[in-house]
């Protein structure tokens, strides 16, 4: 993993985001305040504005810089949470120089841990944590499993993200703006969970295709 690759992935995410923007916007309009897409867009734009600077940094520094950039650009609930994700990832020893899935899994787990500390939400609160926590758990598990191809692993992570995202649909929210709705939030997928699922899907897909093309 290099800083260039991080930027490449963010560009892929940005593309995927635009393709799904109106769907996600509808979700935040249904149970939030309708700004989630705008917030995320602002964050991605801010990162790509410092693309050159990021390219010159070591991965851990780039991740930190991305975290700070998101923190100062997204705002809302999503800002500190996505920022924490990147800052948490940068914390893992060895994240500067990573060649194997185990390090990446550790980084992901560290990122999710910091998000959880910041947001104080857990599985079942109808937030992005319903995607992040199960995916992180599964990831840590799978990297210890032998005889699993990289693509199989990525496929399982994508499926888990999808499951987590869908699990937010039929429950009431107990964290975030949707919690004000009580029972009325039921029936709507959480926008932050959808965002995370989309991001995970895009990254996995990118890695699968990249593996193939090599």
- Token representation of residue 12: 């892929």
The pattern of x and - marking residues 2 through 31 that bind Mg ion according to CB under 5 A reads: --------------------------x---
Among 62, 107, 121, 133, binds ligand ADP (CB under 6 A): 121
Cβ proximity to other proteins, 98 vs 172, nearer residue:
172
Among 59, 79, 164, 191, binds other proteins (CB under 8 A): 79
- Long-range contacts of residues 141-150, Cβ cutoff 8 Å, at least 24 apart: 142/105, 143/101, 143/102, 143/104, 143/105, 150/101, 150/207, 150/211
| Residue matched to tokens 């029972």 | 183
Cβ proximity to other proteins, 150 vs 184, nearer residue:
184
The pattern of x and - marking residues 159 through 178 that bind other proteins according to CB under 8 A reads: ---------------xxxx-
If binding means CB under 8 A, how many residues of this protein chain bind other proteins? 33
Positions in the binding site for Mg ion (CB under 5 A): 28, 32-33, 35-36, 76
């Amino acid at each position: 993993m290099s800083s260039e690759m991080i930027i490449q992935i963010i560009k892929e995410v940005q593309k995927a985001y635009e393709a799904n923007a109106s769907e996600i916007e509808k979700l935040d309009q249904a149970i939030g305040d309708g700004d989630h897409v705008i917030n995320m867009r602002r964050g991605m734009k801010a990162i790509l504005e410092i693309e050159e600077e990021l390219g010159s940094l070591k991965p851990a520094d780039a991740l930190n810089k991305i975290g700070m950039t998101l923190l100062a650009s997204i705002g809302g609930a999503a800002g500190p949470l996505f920022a924490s994700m990147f800052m948490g990832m940068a914390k893992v020893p060895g994240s500067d120089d990573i060649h194997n899935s185990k390090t990446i899994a550790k980084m992901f787990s560290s990122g999710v841990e910091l998000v959880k500390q910041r947001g104080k939400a857990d599985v079942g609160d109808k937030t992005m944590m319903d995607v992040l926590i199960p995916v992180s758990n599964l990831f840590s598990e799978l990297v210890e499993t032998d005889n699993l191809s990289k693509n199989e692993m990525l496929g399982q992570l994508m499926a888990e993200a999808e499951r987590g995202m869908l699990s937010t649909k039929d429950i009431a929210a107990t964290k975030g703006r949707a919690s004000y709705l009580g029972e009325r939030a039921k029936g709507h997928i959480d926008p932050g969970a959808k965002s995370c699922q989309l991001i995970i899907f895009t990254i996995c897909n990118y890695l699968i295709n990249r593996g193939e093309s090599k």
